[in-house]
């Protein structure tokens, strides 16, 4: 795991006075190793600021009576089933309810479309794909539809993520979206891993919750594969 | 490092509430007290339940907390000189709001007071700690764009006057009652006084200073105001860079007494965007975007929910570093003088109808 990420974590720990921990590569993704040897699965998307704000919008009742989550995530390579499991975890986190049923259709290892239902009755659709050309930035969209209001991380009348800076030079167009003053310089995906580790160190109660969520994600992935294979919904 | 014992004073500035989280969370600080300008400011302060005691008399605050080392002056512009004097005379470090004063004689006295006391006086221009601005500065400094030729920038917001009435008062905001122009019933002290950021940023980005500026006001959007709410400025820097600034209150608002969700009428209540043209390329930059968006409570209007907003974290870090390590802040009184001079020159140009030399 990147030395830079652990340096950044050490910076935050020193600044805010929190206990020790080290970010390492786990089998299924980044983990935080505590001084007693315990390992916590890190769920960086749960601390990503756009999702923190969407969660606030739901929990603070800016949206009332959420009905449906419409999520999409496309990448250059990767496993769409794993991507789907991550998106389902995000939806379950925002819904504050476990997933009870999954129905999935897959197209080999290229794409995966899912309908899910939560214990609280809410519904979700998740679209995933892995066939963006190499080097392309990931594309995603998260929309939450409620009786009162719709919230999204994409602005109205756009299809693709926006950037903070667009730079045109003789080398073409370069874009930048910097999101964190304290961790400026780290790539955004690493920033969220560091922030996730920091969140666990600041709130140790998160550890067991996240490990349980990580175990649930494995169940979601298995359910996606089984549902597609059997052409039947899978109840969890 | 020993935490800096810090206090806030005034509590009437629009940025006041933005400090609370940072002052509480930053381990390098110990926020021990606040002192409100009046009962109304104290009532609003207490809505936020910081747990930090609030006084109405600065002398009493200091008597109760003699170990205060630094004070954030979160007050109306007209109060800044007396408050700076109060701090300087007691050797207390100062974090000033973005406009120390528009009176240049008073400004020079502030410099003298601070120099004589040997204290840190940092001016709150939080855009410097915005990660997008950091990137922008890096890209320009890299030379990818070549020599800069032109910069257009917006610093447009809703008007805060309904929550912070001093911002609509010529005396409290500008320092005195000066008509905008012959025959114009409005006075200096409105949107321009609220928006120094772009006037400051361009100096950092180019390394140059102002030569001339031409400014004009437009009809006000809010007829009740006696200060300007719409204006534009164009001009040139000494290195030849052309600029066009929009520092208006061009986004309408609900007239709330305390800022709260639903304040904005236009979806994005505050924007700092820059378009920069160089000899070898061009940049477009949105310092506060992208974000998340909703049309939920309280008004069911499409609304930008700001997502990346931690300027105050970096700003306070620098302030503490300067105090503990005896450094001069990036934005200090002497540096900031030219920015204020250019803003004054905008008013001079509005009054005269011709470009003003800075």
Flag residues of chain A having pLDDT under 50: none
A186-211 tens-digit pLDDT? 999 999 999 999 999 999 999 999 99
Domains of chain B, CATH where assigned? 4-127+313-331 (3.40.50.720), 130-307+339-357 (3.30.360.10)
Instruction: Determine the distance in angstroms separating the CA of B282 from the nearest CA of chain A, rounded to an integer.
Output: 5
Rounded Cα gap, residues B186 and B184, in angstroms: 5
Q: Does A181 sit within 8 Å of B134, measured CB to CB?
A: yes
- Return residues 6-45 of A near B (CB < 8 Å): 15-17
Among candidates B219, B120, B64, B129, which has minimal Cα distance to A181?
A: B129
Domain A45-180+219-230 fold is: Dihydrodipicolinate Reductase; domain 2 (3.30.360)
Q: Does B296 sit within 8 Å of A62, measured CB to CB?
A: yes
pTM here?
Answer: 0.95
CB atoms closer than 10 angstroms to residue B46: 13
Rounded Cα gap, residues B119 and B322, in angstroms: 10
Residue B193 has what pLDDT? 98
Locate the domains of chain A by residue range: 1-42, 45-180+219-230
Packing angle, helices A188-202 and A3-16, rounded to 10: 40
B273-291 tens-digit pLDDT? 999 999 999 999 999 999 9
Q: Does A57 sit within 8 Å of B307, measured CB to CB?
A: no
User: Which region, left, alpha or beta, applies to residue A59 given φ > 0 means left and ψ of -120 to 50 means alpha?
Assistant: alpha
Cis status of the peptide bond prior to B91, with omega within 30 of 0: no
Residue B15 has what pLDDT? 87
DSSP A126: E
B30-49 tens-digit pLDDT? 999 999 999 999 999 999 99
* pLDDT, mean of residues B262-275: 97
How many residues belong to chain A? 236
B123-168 tens-digit pLDDT? 999 999 999 999 999 999 999 999 999 999 999 999 999 999 999 9
Residue A1 has what pLDDT? 56
- Return residues 175-214 of A near B (CB < 8 Å): 176-182, 184
How many residues belong to chain B? 358
Residue A2 has what pLDDT? 79
Q: Does A166 sit within 8 Å of B305, measured CB to CB?
A: no
| Burial tier of B10 (Cβ tally within 10 Å: 0-12, 13-18, 19+) | buried
DSSP A136: P
Among candidates B191, B269, B275, which has minimal Cα distance to B231?
A: B191
- Strands laid side by side in the A39-41 sheet: A22-25, A30-33, A39-41
B286-323 tens-digit pLDDT? 999 999 999 999 999 999 999 977 788 899 999 999 99
Rounded Cα gap, residues B70 and B14, in angstroms: 20
B205-254 tens-digit pLDDT? 999 999 999 999 999 999 999 999 999 999 999 999 999 999 999 999 99
Q: Which segments within B11-114 are labelled E, that is strand?
A: 29-36, 54-55, 70-73, 93-96
């Amino acid at each position: 795991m990147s030395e830079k990420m652990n340096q950044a974590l050490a910076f935050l720990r020193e600044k805010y006075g929190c206990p020790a921990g080290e970010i390492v590569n786990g089998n299924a993704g980044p983990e935080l190793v505590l001084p007693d040897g315990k390992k916590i699965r890190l769920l960086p998307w749960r601390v990503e600021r756009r999702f923190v704000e969407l969660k606030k919008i739901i929990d603070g009742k800016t949206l009332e009576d959420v009905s449906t989550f419409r999520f999409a995530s496309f990448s250059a390579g990767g496993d769409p089933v794993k991507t789907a499991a991550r998106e389902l975890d995000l939806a379950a986190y925002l819904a504050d309810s476990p997933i009870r049923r999954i129905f999935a259709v897959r197209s080999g290892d290229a794409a995966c479309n899912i309908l899910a239902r939560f214990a609280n009755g809410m519904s979700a659709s998740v679209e995933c794909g892995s066939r963006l050309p190499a080097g392309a930035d990931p594309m995603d969209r998260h929309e939450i539809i409620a009786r009162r209001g719709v919230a999204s991380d994409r602005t109205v009348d756009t299809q693709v993520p926006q950037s903070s800076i667009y730079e045109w030079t003789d080398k073409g167009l370069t874009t930048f979206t910097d999101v964190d003053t304290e961790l400026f310089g780290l790539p955004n995906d690493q920033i969220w891993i560091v922030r996730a580790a920091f969140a666990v160190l600041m709130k140790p109660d998160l550890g067991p919750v996240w490990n349980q969520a990580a175990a649930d994600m494995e169940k979601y992935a298995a359910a996606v594969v089984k549902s597609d294979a059997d052409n039947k919904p899978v109840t969890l | 490092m020993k935490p800096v014992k810090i206090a806030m004073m005034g509590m009437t500035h629009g940025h006041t509430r933005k400090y609370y989280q940072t002052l509480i969370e930053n381990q390098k600080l110990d926020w021990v007290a606040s002192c409100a300008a009046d009962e109304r400011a104290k009532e609003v302060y207490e809505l936020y339940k910081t747990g930090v005691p609030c006084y109405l008399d600065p002398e009493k605050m200091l008597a109760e907390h003699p170990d205060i080392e630094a004070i954030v002056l979160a007050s109306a512009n007209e109060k800044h000189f007396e408050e700076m004097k109060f701090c300087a005379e007691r050797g207390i470090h100062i974090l000033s709001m973005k406009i120390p004063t528009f009176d240049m004689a008073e400004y020079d006295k502030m410099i003298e007071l601070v120099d004589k006391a040997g204290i840190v006086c940092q001016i709150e221009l939080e855009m410097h700690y915005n990660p997008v601005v950091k990137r922008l500065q890096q890209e320009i400094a890299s030379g990818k764009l070549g020599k800069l030729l032109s910069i257009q920038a917006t610093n447009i917001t809703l008007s805060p006057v309904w929550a912070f009435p001093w911002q609509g008062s010529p005396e409290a905001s500008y320092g005195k009652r000066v008509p905008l122009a012959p025959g114009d019933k409005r006075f200096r002290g409105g949107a321009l006084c609220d928006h120094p950021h772009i006037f400051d940023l361009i100096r950092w980005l180019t390394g140059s200073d102002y030569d001339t500026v031409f400014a004009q006001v437009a009809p006000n959007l809010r007829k009740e105001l006696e200060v300007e709410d719409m204006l534009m400025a164009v001009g040139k820097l000494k290195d030849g860079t052309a600029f066009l600034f929009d520092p208006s209150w061009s986004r309408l608002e609900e007239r709330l007494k305390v800022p709260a969700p639903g304040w904005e009428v236009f979806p994005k209540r505050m924007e700092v965007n820059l378009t920069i043209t160089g000899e070898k390329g061009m940049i477009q930059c949105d310092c506060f975007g992208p974000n998340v968006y909703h049309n939920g409570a309280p008004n069911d209007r499409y609304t930008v929910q700001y997502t990346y907003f931690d300027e105050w974290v970096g700003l306070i870090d620098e302030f503490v570093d300067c105090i503990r390590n005896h450094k001069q802040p990036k934005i200090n009184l002497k540096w900031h003088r030219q920015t204020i001079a250019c803003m004054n020159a905008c008013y001079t140009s509005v009054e005269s109808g011709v470009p003003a030399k800075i």
